[in-house]
Structure 1
């Protein structure tokens, strides 16, 4: 039971935040379980709703809670930890963790590569490329928003149906051999449309990953930009002193 000490030097919002965090860490609040509304907290402990909102917002931003529009606030699912080593697809990583991967195709079209994309893919200006925008899910939970570009000449038979599954698997079944990739990571806040698609609060933390994937012959296979939910993902990197 939460005991709020209004004489404590610790702010009231921090006391509420620490109590909920302890409940989650101890397993007394399980992933997917709802917590009392701001109004209920406010009335039960005789504190302002603004104070309660600050505590809950801090826990949402830290990945402990998630807000669902029209439904309430729930204990967030545990983060998926991925190692930034080895070239694996999203689908392969999710399957490896015993979950079901799924892609929701938002758009699929062939475009003439504009200057920026042509440069990223190391192809000539106006080269035909696929542009695919997908939501990446695991067990029906939205984890990432991805936009990918692939030269049409590499996979001339790629269809929307293929784009719902693993592009890497389709490429290898088509005879291409993937070798390596380079990634650039950047932390930032989500924009309004991104937040809506990722089902997170506006300005919530996300991790942007720019990736270039190469074939064995050294040609660029794909350029992609993926936004990963900060409350759903963490990454580890193994390093050696040289």
Structure 2
């Protein structure tokens, strides 16, 4: 990966983890260039990517400012365009998990394609129900190569992303998400305590780490009236 993309991913992660807080000024370009040991030109390319995503902007006399996201006072509007997980987006709420399946096996063709792995590379298969303040929130089906990190049920009961970040220095910096509607099957209806055929919102995701490697392929199903998602659109060029 190009150095400026690595720096972009690192700063983006710091923004999403509130190291650089919304509405506040970031360190100067000189300070950031010194921190990452790169030229100002390389750093500007990193900052341009962040600006293109609407995460930062330049303010005359104040430097580079972290952009505030759309207000979300009711806690229901979740950012669909940012690479963060359930626990992060609900820091003020209690997120718990019920593990329905945790096993290891070889991947099928679709999983090989999405994770860019060989047919003989073992994967974890994880099915969890996530609860928000004790209420059904989502039904997750996750596929992850076993080489990424050793997992156990204690880890799965909490946040996998927090574990990967703290213990393995693996962060989701990018993700490809496909959103669609689907009727609840027998399995998902039991997991979410709804009737078969109930409309569900499905988010299919491939998550990438700071090196650009795919480390997770998952689908998360949500009951229609339990969650709302938002995408902030930023236009970087005018014509």
From 153, 166, 169, the equivalent of 1:160 is 153
- Are 2:84 and 1:91 equivalent residues in the alignment? no
C-alpha contact (below 8 Å) 1:79/1:232 kept by paired residues: no
Cα displacement string for residues 140-195 of structure 1 (whole angstroms, at most 9, x for unaligned residues):
1011100101111110x211211111111111122223311110000121112211
TM, length-normalised to structure 1: 0.63
Task: Measure, in 1, the Cα distance between the counterparts of 2:83 and 2:184.
Answer: 26
The correspondence of residues 88-167 of structure 1 with structure 2, limited to 5 A, is 88-95=84-91, 98-155=92-149, 157-167=150-160
What is the CA-CA distance between 1:79 and the residue it aligns to? 8.3
C-alpha contact (below 8 Å) 1:114/1:126 kept by paired residues: no
What is the CA-CA distance between 1:85 and the residue it aligns to? 2.6
Q: Decide which structure has the larger Cα Rg and report it.
A: 1
**Residue equivalent to 1:73:** none
- Are 2:231 and 1:237 equivalent residues in the alignment? yes
**Residue equivalent to 1:74:** none
Task: Measure, in 2, the Cα distance between the counterparts of 1:131 and 1:216.
Answer: 23
Task: Measure, in 1, the Cα distance between the counterparts of 2:75 and 2:223.
Answer: 10
**Residue equivalent to 1:177:** 171
Task: Measure, in 2, the Cα distance between the counterparts of 1:91 and 1:213.
Answer: 16
Task: Measure, in 1, the Cα distance between the counterparts of 2:108 and 2:81.
Answer: 31
Q: Helix, strand or coil: the match of 2:190?
A: helix
- Are 2:76 and 1:80 equivalent residues in the alignment? yes
Unaligned runs of 5+ in 2: 1-73
Task: Measure, in 1, the Cα distance between the counterparts of 2:186 and 2:148.
Answer: 34
Task: Measure, in 2, the Cα distance between the counterparts of 1:226 and 1:177.
Answer: 19
C-alpha contact (below 8 Å) 2:129/2:137 kept by paired residues: yes
Cα RMSD over matched residues? 1.6
Unaligned runs of 5+ in 1: 1-77
